[in-house]
Structure 1
Amino acid sequence: MSSRKFVSLLVLSKKIYSKDPRILSRSLNTMTTELHSENSHSCGIRPYSEIPGPKPIPFLGNTWRFIPYIGDFKIEEVDKVSTCLHAVYGDIVKIEGLLGRPDMVFIYDASEIERIFRQEEKMPHRPSMPSLNYYKHVLRKEHFGNNAGVIGVHGESWYNFRSKVQQVMLQPRSARMYIGAIEEASQSFLRRIDRIKDENDETPDDFLNEIHKWSLESIANVALDVRLGCLDDDAPLETQKLIDAVNVFFKNVGVLELKIPFWKIFNTPTWQKFVNALDVIVDITRKYTDAALMREKTSGDSEKELSILEKILAVENDTKTASILALDLFLVGIDTTSNAVASVLYQLALHPEKQAILFDEVARTLPQRNEKLESRHLDNLKYLKACIKETLRMYPVVIGNGRCMTKDTIISGYQIPKGVQVVFQHYVISNQDKYFPRSKEFLPERWLTGNDVLHAFASLPFGYGRRMCLGKRFADLEMAVVISKIIQTYKLEYHYDKLDYHIDPMYTPKGPLKLKFITR
C-alpha cells in the first residue's frame, strides 16, 4: 500500500466513521497493519508462518514428538535433535504447537544472536519455567514471597533482586578473594580421590557423584563459610540427600516443560518428584543458611574474609535476600560446575599431548605442591583456561539458552511475535567449522591470546548480557583451582571405549567415568 493510498483512505475513514471513534480506531489499526505488512514484504521481511520447522499434528501439535515410544524427540538426546533440525531446516527453525507453552524458535546464527543480545531491554525474559515459577510463587509463596531470586523469575522482581546481588557476584576481584576457601575444598577432593581409587588407580563407576560432593563443598565454603564435610568418609547423610535432590530437580524439569503438562491439572508422579526434590533443597539450604546467619551475629572475628552471605547482609542488611541467593547458588551451582569439571578431566585424559602441555604450564607456575594458590598464579595458567573453554565449546553443560520475546521482533528476516521463546542453540553453533575451524578436534590453542578470528557469540556457556549466569566468576575460579591441583598431582588416563555425551540432566559423558589417576 503506497503512502498516497494510505492518506486517501485515512481521509475517507474520517468522513465515514466520524460519528463513532471506536470504528475509526479499528479502521486505522487495520490500515496501519496492512501498510506495515506490505512495507515488510517490500524490505524482504517474511511472516512468522513461513519459518521452516517440523509440522504439528491436530490436537497434539508438536508435543507428540516428546512422547515416549511414539515421538521422535528424546529429551536426553536434545543435542542430536537440535543438530538434525539445523541440518534439515537451516539457521532458524520453528517448533510450534507445544501444549501448554509458547512456540519455540531455534537460532543457529551467532551474528543474529549477537544482534539480539546487543538490543536487549532492561529486563529481558528468559524462556519461562512454569513449573519452578508455580513452585516459588504459588505452592511455596510463604517462603519466597515477592523475593524469589533470579532462577525462573522475570520482570521487576528479578531486576530488583539481581540489582542487589550482582555487584558482589560478578566482580572478578570479589571472586578472587575466595581462592583459599576453594583450594581447601579442592585439597579435600584430592585426598578423597586417593582413598577411593582402586589398585589400578581407577576411580569407581560413580566418580561423577564424588565431583558433585566437591562442588557442594566449594559452594558451601564460599557462600556460607561452612565446611560440610562432603568429602569425608563419614560425610553427613543430608549432603548426599541434597545432591540427589538437585539431580532429581533437573531431570524432571525438562519433562514438565516439554511434555504434555498434565501436572497443571493433577499431581502427576513427575510433578510430585519435582516438588519433593525442591522441598529437600529448600529445607537443607535453609538449615545451613540459618546456622550461618546465627554465626554471623555472634562472631567477633573481623579479620576473616566474609562469605557471600555476609557480604550481601553487609550491603543490603536483608536476611531474606541473602538466604534466597544462597538457595539459588545451591540449586544451579552444584551440577553445572561439577559436570564441567568431569568433562574437562575426561577430555584431558583422552588427549595426553594436551595434558602434557598443561602439566608443563602448571609445573612452571606452581613448582611446589604445597605452595598456596594466589591470583598471580591463576593469571599465568592461560593454557588451563583454554582447555576449559575448549571443553565447554565442544560440550557445554547447558547446550542452549534464550529469550522470551517481550515485543514483536525481526529475527533472521522473519517477524517474530511477542511471547515466542527464542532459543540460542550454542552446542550446534560452537561445533560448526564456520565458527571454529576443525571444530571436531580438541584444540585449546585456538583460545590463546592473539586469535582474533573467533566469533565472540559462537560459544557462550554462561550466557551473556543482563541475565548472564550470576555464578560465572566463581565457577571459573572453582574449575581453574581444582583442575590445576589435580594435574599438578596426577597424570590422567582413560582406557575404555570412548563415551558419547547425553543430557542427564546436564550435558555430560554417558557411562562410568573410570578415569585413572596416576600419582606424579
Structure 2
Amino acid sequence: MKCINKNIYKQIDYLNKLFVCDYRLLSSVHHNVSNSNNITSSGTTTIVAGDATQTEWNNAVPYELMPGPKPLPLLGNTWRFIPYIGNFEIEHIDQVSLRLYHQYGNIVKISGLLGRPDMVFVYDPDDIERVFRIEDSIMPHRPSMPSLNYYKHVLRKDFFGEDAGVIAVHGKNWHNFRTKVQQSMLQPRIAKLYIKPIEDTANAFVERVGLIRDQNNEMPDDFLNYVHKWSLESIAKVALDVRLGCLDEPSNAETQCMIDAVNTFFINVPVLELKIPFWKLFNTPTWNKYIKALDTITEISLKHINKALDNLKQGNVGSEPSLVQRILQSENNPKIACILALDMFLVGIDTTSNAVASILYQLSLHPEKQENLFTELQKVLPDKNTNITSKHMEEMPYLRACIKETLRMYPVVIGNGRCVTNDCVIRGYQVPKGVQIIFQHYVISNLEKYFYKPNEFLPERWLKTDAKAECKAHHPFASLPFGHGRRMCLGRRFADLEMQMIVAKMIRNYKIEYHYKKLDYFIHPMYTPNGPLRLRLLDRQS
C-alpha cells in the first residue's frame, strides 16, 4: 500500500499561521464548559545531600561492584544485542530480563552501552518505591528515546520548539507542558464525558469483526490490525472529535499508512537505542525508515488536527468538546493542543490495541473466566444493545479485574524507570547520577513471592472480596502497567475507559474461543502474542 506523499513542511507553515491568529473567538465557542481546578500529581522531595545521605553513600557498596554481565573492551555490552553473535535478543528481552534476574539477583548492572548511559535493572518493588521516592520530584527524568528526542528538538525543532509535548521531553519544558494539559487528561470525571464517542467506536468494531469472520467464525490473520484501527479511531474521536473511518469498508489507505508508520516507529526504537548507534554518525537505513515513519505520523496527524481547529474556529463542534477544544478553551494556545494530540497518536495506538488483543486472547484461553465475566455483564446489561453509562462501568469489577490480571502477566510495556538526577543508594549499592534505573515489571509481577500462583490467570486476585489466598493484598509497586507518579501515563484514564468498553462489548456480544497452539509472547513492538490471533467469535443469543 502506497502512503501519501510527505507534506510535513506545508502542514508546519499552515499551523504557524494558525498560531499567530487571534483565537479569542475560540474561547467563546464553549463558554459553558466549566474549568476544573488544577490537579497536582503526588510526589515527594528529591533527597538532598546531607549528613544522613552522605553517610548512607559512604557505607554503600561501590557501583563498580554491582553484579551484572561484564562488558568487553571497545564494544562494552552493546555486542550482546548484535544478531548472531549476541545473546540479548530484542524481541525476547522479557526472557533476557528473567535470565538476568535468576543469574544475578534483585539488582543488575548493564554497563558499557555505546552511546547511552548505563542501565540498572531492579527486581524488587521496595526498590522501585524507593526510586520513586528519591526521583519523583517536580521534574522527574524518565529514560526516553534519544532518537525521538533528536527528532523533536533538533531535526524538527522549527515545529516543536519549546512546546514539544511530554514524550521524550524533560525538565522545565516537560513540566510546563504537562501542567497545561493534565487538568483535562487526568480527571476521572472528564474521561467519563467521553463514554458515548468511545462506545460508538466500540460498537463499530463489534459490527466490523462480525462481518470479517470466515466460514468457521474465525478472525483473519490480520485481526490485530483491525484492533489497531479501532484504537486509532477512538483516539481521533476523543482528541479531535473527528471520525476517520478506520473501520469502514473499503478501508482507508491514509489511516492504514498511519498505523504502519506507528508500528515502524516502535519496531525501530530498540534497534536504534540498544544496538551500536551508527545513526548518530550517519543516516543508516533504519534511521531513514524511523524518520520517515515519524514524519508520516506527524503529517497525517496534523491534517486531522488542522481540520479540528478549523471546525472549532467556525463553531462546528459537537455537544461535548474534544480534548483539543478543551485545551484551547483553557489555554487559548492551538500549538499546545496540537502537540498533545500528536503525542496521543504517537504512543496511544499500539499500546491500547495490543493490550486489548492480549485481554481477548487470555479470555479465550480461560473460558471459565470469560463465562464469569459474561455473567457479570449480562446482569449489568440484560439487553446487549443497552448503551453503557458510567454507572454501568462502576458495576463491572470483574471486567476491571480481567484487564488488570492480563496486564500483570503480560504488560504491553514490560518495564519503565527513572534516570537518577542525584547520587543515590539502591539496595545497598552506590548508583551515581545519570544512570538509568529500569523497573522490570514483567519479571516482578510474575514472581511467586509477590503474587499467589503467578502463572495462573486469576482475575479474582484483584477483587479482594474474601480471605482466599489469591485475594491477598499485593505490593502496590509490583504491577504498574501505567507507571506511577508525576510521569504516569497521561492518557491512562482514556485508555482504561477504552479497554473496558471494547472488552465489555465484545464479551457481551460474542463467545470467544481459540483452537490452535498456544502463542508465546514477544516484543513486536509491544509485548504481544507471537502469531495470528485466529479467535473464533460465536454470537451470543441473549
Scaled by the length of structure 2, what TM-score is found?
A: 0.88
| Alpha-carbon shift at residue 36 of structure 1 (Å) | 10
Q: 1:312 aligns with which of 298, 310, 327?
A: 327
Counterpart of 2:294, as a letter, is L
- The equivalent residue for 1:358 is 373
RMSD of aligned alpha carbons: 1.5
Matched, 1:482 2:496: no
The 1:38–1:75 alpha-carbon spacing in structure 2 relative to 1, beyond 3 Å, is same
The 1:496–1:315 alpha-carbon spacing in structure 2 relative to 1, beyond 3 Å, is same
Q: 1:184 aligns with which of 190, 200, 203?
A: 200
Q: State the SS of the aligned residue for 1:328.
A: helix
| Equivalent residues of 2:57, 2:430 under 8 A apart | no
- The equivalent residue for 2:141 is 125
Distance 2:409 2:93 in 1: 15
- The equivalent residue for 2:488 is 468
Matched, 1:388 2:400: no
Distance 1:154 1:314 in 2: 25
- The equivalent residue for 1:223 is 239
| Equivalent residues of 1:216, 1:330 under 8 A apart | yes
Q: 1:498 aligns with which of 502, 518, 526?
A: 518
Q: State the SS of the aligned residue for 2:329.
A: helix
Distance 1:372 1:286 in 2: 32
Distance 1:347 1:336 in 2: 17
- The equivalent residue for 2:527 is 507
The 1:296–1:36 alpha-carbon spacing in structure 2 relative to 1, beyond 3 Å, is closer
- The equivalent residue for 1:85 is 100
- The equivalent residue for 2:178 is 162
Distance 1:387 1:36 in 2: 44
- The equivalent residue for 2:61 is 46
Distance 1:56 1:101 in 2: 14
Measured against aligned partners, the alpha-carbon deviations of 1:372-401 in whole angstroms (never above 9, x if no partner) come to 110010001100000000000000000000
The 1:129–1:300 alpha-carbon spacing in structure 2 relative to 1, beyond 3 Å, is closer
After TM superposition, the structure 1 stretch with the greater mean CA deviation from structure 2, 114-123 or 53-62, is 114-123
Largest Rg, 1 or 2: 1
Measured against aligned partners, the alpha-carbon deviations of 1:42-75 in whole angstroms (never above 9, x if no partner) come to 74x1110111000000000000000111000011
Counterpart of 1:355, as a letter, is Q
- The equivalent residue for 2:457 is 442
| Alpha-carbon shift at residue 490 of structure 1 (Å) | 0.2
Distance 1:108 1:308 in 2: 37
Counterpart of 2:281, as a letter, is I
| Alpha-carbon shift at residue 40 of structure 1 (Å) | 4.7
Distance 2:347 2:53 in 1: 43
| Equivalent residues of 1:365, 1:380 under 8 A apart | yes
- The equivalent residue for 1:18 is none
Q: State the SS of the aligned residue for 1:482.
A: helix
| Equivalent residues of 2:56, 2:425 under 8 A apart | no
| Alpha-carbon shift at residue 118 of structure 1 (Å) | 2.6
| Alpha-carbon shift at residue 229 of structure 1 (Å) | 0.6
- The equivalent residue for 2:439 is 424
Q: 2:336 aligns with which of 308, 316, 321?
A: 321
Counterpart of 2:82, as a letter, is I
Distance 1:148 1:463 in 2: 21
| Equivalent residues of 1:105, 1:423 under 8 A apart | yes
| Alpha-carbon shift at residue 41 of structure 1 (Å) | 7.7
- The equivalent residue for 1:199 is 215
Counterpart of 1:370, as a letter, is N
Q: State the SS of the aligned residue for 2:438.
A: strand
- The equivalent residue for 1:264 is 280
Distance 1:366 1:473 in 2: 23
Q: 1:232 aligns with which of 248, 256, 265?
A: 248
Q: 1:135 aligns with which of 130, 151, 164?
A: 151
- The equivalent residue for 1:107 is 122
The 1:40–1:482 alpha-carbon spacing in structure 2 relative to 1, beyond 3 Å, is closer
Distance 1:38 1:454 in 2: 33
- The equivalent residue for 1:147 is 163
Distance 2:504 2:412 in 1: 20
The 1:37–1:337 alpha-carbon spacing in structure 2 relative to 1, beyond 3 Å, is closer
Distance 1:367 1:41 in 2: 61
Q: State the SS of the aligned residue for 1:93.
A: strand
Q: State the SS of the aligned residue for 1:94.
A: strand
Identity value in percent: 63
| Alpha-carbon shift at residue 370 of structure 1 (Å) | 2.0
Q: State the SS of the aligned residue for 2:354.
A: helix
- The equivalent residue for 2:74 is 59
| Equivalent residues of 2:57, 2:425 under 8 A apart | no
| Equivalent residues of 2:177, 2:336 under 8 A apart | yes
Measured against aligned partners, the alpha-carbon deviations of 1:214-233 in whole angstroms (never above 9, x if no partner) come to 00010011000011110011
Measured against aligned partners, the alpha-carbon deviations of 1:12-65 in whole angstroms (never above 9, x if no partner) come to xxxxxxxxxxxxxxxxxxxxx9x999955874x111011100000000000000
| Equivalent residues of 2:408, 2:479 under 8 A apart | yes
Measured against aligned partners, the alpha-carbon deviations of 1:103-139 in whole angstroms (never above 9, x if no partner) come to 0000000011012213321100011311000000110
| Alpha-carbon shift at residue 371 of structure 1 (Å) | 1.2
- The equivalent residue for 1:8 is none
- The equivalent residue for 1:458 is 478
Matched, 1:345 2:345: no
Distance 1:476 1:443 in 2: 19
| Alpha-carbon shift at residue 236 of structure 1 (Å) | 2.1
Q: State the SS of the aligned residue for 2:203.
A: helix
Q: State the SS of the aligned residue for 1:226.
A: coil
- The equivalent residue for 2:303 is 287
Distance 1:373 1:305 in 2: 17
Counterpart of 1:489, as a letter, is N
Runs of 4+ in structure 1 off by over 6 angstroms are: 35-38
| Alpha-carbon shift at residue 234 of structure 1 (Å) | 2.1
The 1:384–1:92 alpha-carbon spacing in structure 2 relative to 1, beyond 3 Å, is same
The 1:102–1:181 alpha-carbon spacing in structure 2 relative to 1, beyond 3 Å, is same
Distance 1:410 1:209 in 2: 44
Distance 1:398 1:261 in 2: 22
Distance 2:474 2:220 in 1: 38
The 1:332–1:53 alpha-carbon spacing in structure 2 relative to 1, beyond 3 Å, is same
Gapped runs of 5+ residues in structure 2? 1-48, 466-470
- The equivalent residue for 2:418 is 403
Q: State the SS of the aligned residue for 1:410.
A: strand
Distance 1:381 1:143 in 2: 44
- The equivalent residue for 2:427 is 412
Report how many aligned residue pairs link the two structures: 485
Distance 1:381 1:37 in 2: 46
| Equivalent residues of 2:241, 2:322 under 8 A apart | yes
Counterpart of 2:218, as a letter, is E
Q: State the SS of the aligned residue for 1:232.
A: coil
Distance 2:386 2:500 in 1: 16
- The equivalent residue for 1:296 is 312
| Alpha-carbon shift at residue 167 of structure 1 (Å) | 0.9
- The equivalent residue for 2:112 is 97
Counterpart of 1:168, as a letter, is S
| Alpha-carbon shift at residue 195 of structure 1 (Å) | 1.1
Distance 1:37 1:277 in 2: 46
| Equivalent residues of 1:40, 1:46 under 8 A apart | no
